[in-house]
Structure 1
Amino acid sequence: MDRTPTPALLAGTARALDHRLAVEQSRGRAPSMAGAVVRGGRTVWTGSRGRVEDGAPTPDTQYRIGSITKTFVAVLVLRLRDEGLLGLDDALGDHLPDAPVTDPTIAQLLAHSSGLAAETGAPWWERSDGAVRPDLASLVAVPPLRGPGRRHHYSNVGFALLGALVGRLRDRPWTAALQAEVLDPLGMDRTTYHPEPPHASGWAVHPWADALLPEPAEDAGLMAPAGQLWSTTADLGRYGTFLLHGDDAVLAADTVAEMRAPSAPAERGAPLSSQGLGLQLLRHGTRDLAGHTGSMPGFLATLWVDPAEDLAGIVFANATSGPAIATTVAELLAVVADREPALPAEWVPAAPEPEVLALTGPWYWGAAPVALRAHGTDELAIGGLGGGARGSRFHRDAHGDWVGLDGYYAGETLRVVRDPDGAVSHLDLGSFVFTREPYAPADVVPGDVDPGGWR
């Protein structure tokens, strides 16, 4: 994506965003709402409606962000993986042997497919002092609902265990690791464990009257990795940019893209399309969004990013229920994308090496024609030419192998097979043979080719 300075939004676009936020604050009866849209790393719109203690909320007003906290825990876990301190397929017990459950893998916990229950036992953890759960054993009130890896089931408890895992491997509280490894490098100085002024107070709105009831803001203790943090739209705008592009001081872009990739299907009936590694994935219209929703007593929050449009959107409300925050953010992004679509990246020539260029052009999987195209100097893409063949992109790794990035061949290796004289004989892709002619000579096509040839 071209990272030239992003111009401000057109007045009509900004007005449409203001209108959408105002409609939701009124319809959802929220004491206040605050929102922002970021494009290309620059905040292009902020809006607010209603009142907090100090007047209208601003981009510097803190709200509790609830389960968006989980995405920060996931970033810390992926940092440990990238440093070689754990593997995503490792069992939790390999690194946290005193956990009340040890079988789920790190990836299953990140993707909410561990089989753990959604919540702790009584009392309701979001509205009680974390001191009532003094140790890890107190977090798991019931046995796992099912074996790990069999089904997606959202689990706050699972992320409490991941927070404990980070603390164990870093030999310091997960919050200290978060500050040093994520918040400080990204310049997020208004994202904190406890609220710091200016901040909104949390309210419940009476379902049948326009009356308010204050909500508690407890320290969740060991459950804090599931939903403790407070933040601002300005800070989460910076974080949204990170979730789009990565930051080498925190996580490389490839690892952030891995977080955004589907890892487990969503629960039946859920509005989400699937679950990534610590990120929720939403299909909204024709757009694929990633991010997370959040709620704690008195607060609602959502952060979505749209990689195709280089957009991030955030909305907060200080109400326990009422406003449809997740839909609102998705619609804010749609307003910008529809009215002011991102320009495609400028095409520039980038010729690959001659031996790679020689691989491009038509190939045949049996009788199905496909095309192999080079994109830049280190990417190949295979796709059908009317024959219905599967498509994927391939990137050359450090060993010189072409490894699938997406589609049917994700993770598979595309091998160039040569004759004894060094000439290219055929391509081998997961044992599938691709030849320069339809069903080329039998010595490269398994199962023989009829000697009578085409007729």
Structure 2
Amino acid sequence: MTTPHEELLPTTRRTLLHRIATAQAEGRTPSLVAAVARDGEVVWSGARSMVDGHAPDENVQYRIGSITKTFTAVLVMRLRDEGLLDLRDPLEKHLPGTGAGEATIAELLAHTGGLAAETPGEWWERTPGSTRPELTDVLGEQPFRHPVGRRFHYSNPGYTLLGSLVEAVRGASWEDVLRREVLEPLGLNRTSAQPQAPHAGGWAVHPWADVMMPEPVEDLGLMAPAGQLWSTTADLARFACFLAKGDERVLGAESVREMRTPSAPSQPESWDRSYGLGLDLLRWEGLSLAGHTGSLPGFLAGLWVSEQEGVAAVALANCTSGPLVATLAADLVKIVAEAEPRIPEPWRPLPEVDEKVLELAGPWYWGTQVLALRLSADGGVELGPLSGAGRQARFRSNGDGTWTGLDGYYAGELLRPVRRTDGSVSHLDLGSFVFTRKPYDEGAPVPGGVAPEGWHGF
């Protein structure tokens, strides 16, 4: 039996090593590094082949491409949590004159703003950022490809706009704000906008011969918030743990949970994949994963975390194409989750309970459908079906005897117990729905009334 923070079993470690060794050999990448974290701590790291003649380790930097977007999204969520903006605000309110200001901040975060996938002009990943000194150079004369808010369409320029939004609100560069507000508090000392030794070089491997040539490394300029960062497996594993649990110094648990909640339609190429607020969301062989992938010429990156299993994995490679690092990182999570299932926390009774809340626990009926209301350890309540699929949600106490939905169908909706004159509970009101203690309780104000003849057979 394992417990949190124990090292992985030897058989698990060998399976992980075999998986990355196979990926490096079959993917024909100069080097590949990976790490796994469990319950907030790095429990395994591995590497194959060489960087500058030495075996790489968890402290060698690789470029992480679009994983940078998740860092940018964290900065935007911090602005929201501080009350400096609302995710429903149109961009124009805070960053006027872009020509794309009708898209909301939430739509830009979720890639539903309708913007083009790429910039006009030259291939931006292989050209200096200095060739795009203004946002107009990033957006072009016709920045939109789709109606705003109608569909998921991944947009690199959209995250350039979000980076510029951060700069406008904070009055400082995106890089400085990121370092001060995210990297330093989380201890990500080996994550930076520019490469810091030791770091890998990026390579293009010939598709039909075992030869390679170096890829250019460009400063992306205004596009930096979409893909500039360099990092290590150790830093990214810690960042992945933050994305699962939050950190009050940066973003609390509810805000990172909001980032992990689907905010865009399922992606066309996969009904098992959607997008949150700066996070890719994936159903992978029974696991629910959140994270991001990244690529720039010479580099590939993948990061996934399973909150339910408490396992995160990162994989980085220094080649333009070859190993499927996103699949690799997901496989590493799956290997640990299956080989060493998470040990549940011991059940403990609540230290105290409000009798008026306890009175609400148990079965409730929406028409003839039975649901259960349960008290949660954090002082909230949960409402969901007794078994199988159905509407379910967690609710946060408002401190006045009501609760607000946090997720699911009832996210944002108000749950209110309605009491009779003697103080007993008549029913629950939830977004106009009436929940009663028995099916169609004749003593409750059920919309449409209850047939006077009551229940009977044919």
Structure 2 Cα separation of the partners of residues 400 and 203 of structure 1: 60
The answer (yes or no) to whether the contact 2:401–2:417 under 8 Å persists in 1 is: no
Aligned-residue offset at 1:386 = 6.9
Equivalent residue, structure 1, for 2:416:
415
Aligned-residue offset at 1:272 = 5.8
Unaligned runs of at least 5 residues, structure 2: none
Aligned-residue offset at 1:270 = 4.1
The answer (yes or no) to whether the contact 2:427–2:444 under 8 Å persists in 1 is: no
Matches within 5 A, 1:16-35: 16-35=15-34
Change (3 A) 1:51 1:248: same
SS at match of 2:283: strand
The answer (yes or no) to whether the contact 1:369–1:386 under 8 Å persists in 2 is: no
Per-residue CA deviation, residues 21-75 of structure 1 (Å, 9 max, x unaligned), is: 0000011000000000011221111100011114111111000000011011000
The answer (yes or no) to whether the contact 1:6–1:39 under 8 Å persists in 2 is: yes
Matches within 5 A, 1:81-230: 81-141=80-140, 142-230=142-230
Equivalent residue, structure 1, for 2:280:
280
Equivalent residue, structure 2, for 1:368:
369
SS at match of 2:197: coil
Change (3 A) 1:310 1:140: same
Per-residue CA deviation, residues 255-286 of structure 1 (Å, 9 max, x unaligned), is: 01111111002331148610010011111011
The answer (yes or no) to whether the contact 1:271–1:282 under 8 Å persists in 2 is: no
SS at match of 1:158: helix
Change (3 A) 1:169 1:390: closer
Equivalent residue, structure 1, for 2:393:
392
Equivalent residue, structure 2, for 1:438:
439
- What percentage of aligned pairs have identical amino acids? 55
SS at match of 2:308: helix
Equivalent residue, structure 2, for 1:300:
300
TM-score (norm 2): 0.95
Change (3 A) 1:433 1:125: same
Equivalent residue, structure 2, for 1:254:
254
Equivalent residue, structure 2, for 1:69:
68
Per-residue CA deviation, residues 213-271 of structure 1 (Å, 9 max, x unaligned), is: 10000001001111011011111111111111111111111101111111002331148
Aligned-residue offset at 1:443 = 5.6
Change (3 A) 1:96 1:272: farther
Moved more, 375-384 or 245-254: 375-384
Equivalent residue, structure 1, for 2:358:
357
Moved more, 293-302 or 54-63: 54-63
Change (3 A) 1:363 1:21: same
Aligned-residue offset at 1:398 = 4.3
Structure 2 Cα separation of the partners of residues 276 and 264 of structure 1: 7
Equivalent residue, structure 1, for 2:333:
333
Structure 2 Cα separation of the partners of residues 89 and 442 of structure 1: 41
Aligned-residue offset at 1:92 = 0.5
Change (3 A) 1:257 1:377: closer
The answer (yes or no) to whether the contact 1:100–1:136 under 8 Å persists in 2 is: no
The answer (yes or no) to whether the contact 2:436–2:444 under 8 Å persists in 1 is: no
TM-score (norm 1): 0.96
Unaligned runs of at least 5 residues, structure 1: none
The answer (yes or no) to whether the contact 1:34–1:316 under 8 Å persists in 2 is: yes
The Cα RMSD (Å) is 1.6
Aligned-residue offset at 1:411 = 2.0
SS at match of 1:34: strand
Moved more, 168-177 or 267-276: 267-276
Give the letter for the 1:128 counterpart. Answer: T
SS at match of 1:309: coil
For these two proteins, the number of residue pairs brought into alignment is: 452
The answer (yes or no) to whether the contact 1:205–1:212 under 8 Å persists in 2 is: yes
Structure 2 Cα separation of the partners of residues 391 and 168 of structure 1: 39
SS at match of 1:337: helix
Give the letter for the 2:187 counterpart. Answer: G
The answer (yes or no) to whether the contact 1:352–1:377 under 8 Å persists in 2 is: no
Structure 2 Cα separation of the partners of residues 298 and 389 of structure 1: 46
Structure 1 Cα separation of the partners of residues 325 and 276 of structure 2: 20
Per-residue CA deviation, residues 87-145 of structure 1 (Å, 9 max, x unaligned), is: 10000110000323111000000000000001001211000011111111111123301
Structure 2 Cα separation of the partners of residues 109 and 202 of structure 1: 30
Structure 1 Cα separation of the partners of residues 36 and 26 of structure 2: 21
Change (3 A) 1:356 1:140: same
SS at match of 1:35: strand
Structure 2 Cα separation of the partners of residues 236 and 312 of structure 1: 9
Give the letter for the 1:299 counterpart. Answer: F
SS at match of 2:363: strand
Equivalent residue, structure 2, for 1:41:
40
Aligned-residue offset at 1:152 = 0.3
Give the letter for the 1:365 counterpart. Answer: W
SS at match of 1:420: coil
Change (3 A) 1:399 1:122: farther
Give the letter for the 1:452 counterpart. Answer: E
Change (3 A) 1:20 1:271: farther
Structure 1 Cα separation of the partners of residues 100 and 386 of structure 2: 50
The answer (yes or no) to whether the contact 1:126–1:297 under 8 Å persists in 2 is: yes
Structure 1 Cα separation of the partners of residues 399 and 53 of structure 2: 55
Change (3 A) 1:347 1:196: same
Change (3 A) 1:315 1:385: closer
SS at match of 2:34: strand
SS at match of 1:344: coil
